[in-house]
Amino acid sequence: MRNNHKKPNILLLCSDQHNPYILGCYGDSLVHTPNLDRLAGGGMTFDSAYCNSPLCVPSRMSFLTGMYPYECDALHNGSTLNSIIPTYAHMLGAAGYHTVLSGRMHFMGPDQRHGFMERLVGDVASYTHWKGEIDYSGLGDLGNMSKPDPLLTVGAGNTFDIDYDQKVAKETCKWLRHYQRRKVDMPFLMTAGFFNPHCPYIAPRELFDKYYEKVPFSTPPKEEIDALHPFHKAYRRVIGVDDVPDENMRKAKVAYYGLVELLDGWIGMILNTLEETGLGGDTIVVYFSDHGEMLGEHGRWHKGCFFEESVRVPLIIRMPGQENTGGRISEVVSLLDLLPTVCEWGDADMFSQVSGKSLIPLMNGITDSRENIVKAEYYDRGCNRMARKGKWKLCFYGNYEDCELYDLESDPYEKHNRADDPICRQVVEELKELVFSDGWNTDVLEKSDDKLNKHRYYEMISNFGNTANNSPLLTKLPDCLSQR
C-alpha cells in the first residue's frame, strides 16, 4: 500500500434525476452547461452508463455498496440500508482517507453517515416518503413521482431545494479551502450530493425565461401511447398524465433545462475552487447522477422505468496529471462499478462481496476486460428487471410475465418493441435467462416486505410521517406559476 500522502484525493459529484441527454457534452446544443462540458473536455465521458435502479434510494444504496438493490435489501424509497453493510466510505476510511459527505445521499433511518467521518450538510426533508396527505401552502407534494402534483404546479419561481443545493456547493468549497490551508497529508474522499434537477419543475425566473421559447416539446402520438406496455399505461393512470394540460408539461421541461444550468453553475464553483486552491492537480473528479428523468418521452415523466431517459445516467471522470482530451467510452457500464473503481484509486480493500467491476481498465483502453452487460431493477407494480447485453436491452415485468426488447443500435429511441418478433426469440430467451442468472427472482419484493413488517418498519414510518408536516419542506411559494 502506498503512503497516504501519495494517494489521490477523490471528489464525487452526484446530482439527482439528471437525464444525460440534457447536457452539452452528451450532445444537447441548447442547454448551457459549460462547467460539466469543461470537466468532460479534460476527462473521460461514458456514453452507455446506467443506474442499477431508476429510483433514488435503491440506486444510491446500490452504488454506495457495490451491490444490486436486491442484494443490499434496498428496494424502495423508504428502504433503510443495514448499517452492517460497508460502503465505499468505510473502505476508503480504512485505507487512510478522510471521508466527507456534503449534502444529499437520501439515507433513510437513524444512520445518516454510513461510513462518512464528516457530514457538512444534512439531507433535504424526506417529504416524498411519508404515508398520508401532505400539503404545504396548498401546493401539494411537488417532488413525489407517485402523484399528479409535480406536473400541476410548474413554471418560474424559487424553491428551498435551490437554496439547499447552493448551500451544498458553498459548504463544499469552504471545506476544500480549509483542507488546503491546513496542508493535511491525509487524502480525502468527498461526495457532494445535489438535489437538482429533480422536480419540482420550478426554475428561477431568468432561467425559465431564457429557455421558454427555445425548448422543444410535443406529446407522443396516440398510436405510440396505445402501443405502450401495460406497465407504462398503469403508471400514466397513477399520475393522471391525460388530465395534465400540454402547456404544463412544456413548462415543466423548460424549468428542467433551467435547473440543469443552475446545477452546472454550482459544479463550476467547486471546480474553480479546486483550481484556485491547487487541489485540482491531486484530485480525481467524478460526475454522475442517481438516475434520469423521462421529460414526457414515451408519455412518461420522472423515472421508475427502463427507458433510456430514466435508467441511463451521465458519467464523467477526470484524472489529475493525465492528458485526457475529451475521450469517450462506449462500453456498457453501471454505477455498481463506482465502488471497485474508487477502491482501486485509493488502494483500499473491498471487504464485502460486490457485483461491480473497476472502470480503470476501460479508461486505460483495455476493452476486453469485462462482459458488455448491465442490469437494473425496479419494484413498483411488481418485481421488474432490465438486462442489457451489447446492443440488446430486455425489460422483464414480473406481474405480467412478459417483456420488452429493444435493439439500441438500430432503434436508439426505443420505438419498436421486438419481444414478439420471431427473429428475436433466441435473444429474448438469452436475456431472460440473464435476468435470473445471479439469484434474482420475483419473490424478492415479498421477502423484503416480510423482513420490514417483522421489524414494524412500515408502522414506524407511518407514525413518523404524521409529524412531518411540522418540518420545513423544499418548496417555497413560487411566483407566477399559473402564468408565464
Q: What tens digit of pLDDT does each residue of 281-332 get?
A: 999 999 999 999 999 999 999 999 999 999 999 999 999 976 556 799 999 9
Q: In the prediction, which pLDDT does 471 show?
A: 33
Domain range 4-375, its CATH number among 3.30.360.10, 3.40.720.10, 3.20.20.100, 1.10.10.10: 3.40.720.10
Edge-to-edge strand list for the sheet holding 402-407 = 373-378, 384-389, 392-397, 402-407
pLDDT in tens, 426-478: 999 999 999 999 999 888 887 777 766 665 665 655 554 433 333 333 334 34
Dihedral of the CA atoms 227, 295, 150, 385 (nearest 10)?
Answer: 60
Cβ proximity of 474 and 164 under 8 Å: yes
pLDDT in tens, 328-387: 999 999 999 999 999 999 999 998 889 999 999 999 988 876 778 999 999 988 899 999
Distance in angstroms (rounded) separating the CA atoms of residues 282 and 240? 50
For residue 361, the number of C-alpha atoms closer than 13 Å in the C-beta half-sphere is: 12
Distance in angstroms (rounded) separating the CA atoms of residues 292 and 288? 10
Distance in angstroms (rounded) separating the CA atoms of residues 79 and 57? 7
Query: Which run of H or of E encompasses 113?
Result: none
Question: Domain spans of the chain?
Answer: 4-375
- Among 13, 211, 219, residue whose Cα is nearest residue 100: 13
Q: In the prediction, which pLDDT does 5 show?
A: 53
